[in-house]
Structure 1
Amino acid sequence: MAKKEGVVEEPRDAAADLKNEEDFKAAGDTSDEAAAEEVLVETEEISELEKARQEAEEAKDRLLRLAAEFENFKKRLERERSLALKYAEESIIKELLPAVDNLERAIDQGKENHSVEDLLAGVELTYRGIVTTLAKFEVAPMICVGAPFDPNHHEALAMEESDEMDPNSVLKEFQKGYTYKDRLIRPAKVVVAKKAEETKE
């Protein structure tokens, strides 16, 4: 190759070229490492996001199952409550049936023997059976005669003069009152005593 006239080629510095090439390679290696590191960080972040998404899905599924179980529990409870209310009186009825049997026997005995005493004895037996049954269920008659009149427990039908009873106390009872446990289920129908008026002479 012919040398151009007037152009002088400077000698190349081989050592500088070699250094530039090493710098380039080092820079390339560094950028490759940085890129690889960046990809690794992104991959880890994606993996964590995927894990969090999966955990959220599992939590959602558990929540939906729990809600369904709770709804089924509520329905079952309502069904059981409905049945309990429907048949709540069954045990009371079973307890009262012997009293009905006794009453039927008393009526039959009275018809066969034409005896009022037998009929009365059968009715009394039946009455005691019913009262005993009611007591089992904590139903109790109220004792009213002689007690002070209480509008919360007594229904006054009339007032009568009396020298024997204190004024405003129960003189007579027309219909018994009953309590169930600590609750009034029927007030007693009563006559209330009042002070006898003095007769003018």
Structure 2
Amino acid sequence: MVFFADRYHFMALNVFLAYIPIEISFHFREVNRKIALILGMLWLLFYPNAPYLLTDFFHLENLSIYRGMDQLFGQSLSAWLSFSLLTAGICVYAFLGMTTLLTALNECYRRGVFSKKQQGVFFFLIVNLLSSLAIFVGRFDRLHSVYLFTEPVETLKTIFLNWSVDKVLFILLFTGLQLVLLLTIVGIMKLSWTKKEEWLD
């Protein structure tokens, strides 16, 4: 994206931020309970950057590929390269990043933080709701994760004290979208595991 795309250079930062929860999830099993708690908090802070990438699809409208109704698509190679880089970055890191929610959930069960299925379902829903809230303030209030460290009071006020009907509806809509995608990921993982068992047989 930095070296080959004519546009979307900013996506390099967005993809990097979406990679952070992935990297954190690699270390859950390696640390003791106290460090795992700190990693979990950092993971929760950066996790919304993964599904946030999905909102970057609207940047496709800046490309010259689509020329309107009843017209042929443009054949600009540079535009299609930008399309490919944007789509790859969004799909790969959004899905991999969202998969870390399942990793975090499994780790909570492994460490005995959760003992009942209902607790896991509640955790699953809460993380998605918080993620949708973070996506809203990131996209419309232009807040970034780093603002929680540089301007914590104002950032928390913006996140939790400023409400509107549109904000609530967006959060519900995006929570539903995330749940659909996460269930799709679970289905793919189960399908993949079934295929492995068939190969072993």
Answer whether TM exceeds 0.5 for this pair.
Answer: no
Answer 1 or 2: which has greater helix percent.
2
Q: Is the radius of gyration larger for structure 1 or structure 2? A: 1
> Please, what TM-score do these two structures have when normalized by structure 1?
0.26
Answer 1 or 2: which has greater strand percent.
1
> Please, what TM-score do these two structures have when normalized by structure 2?
0.26
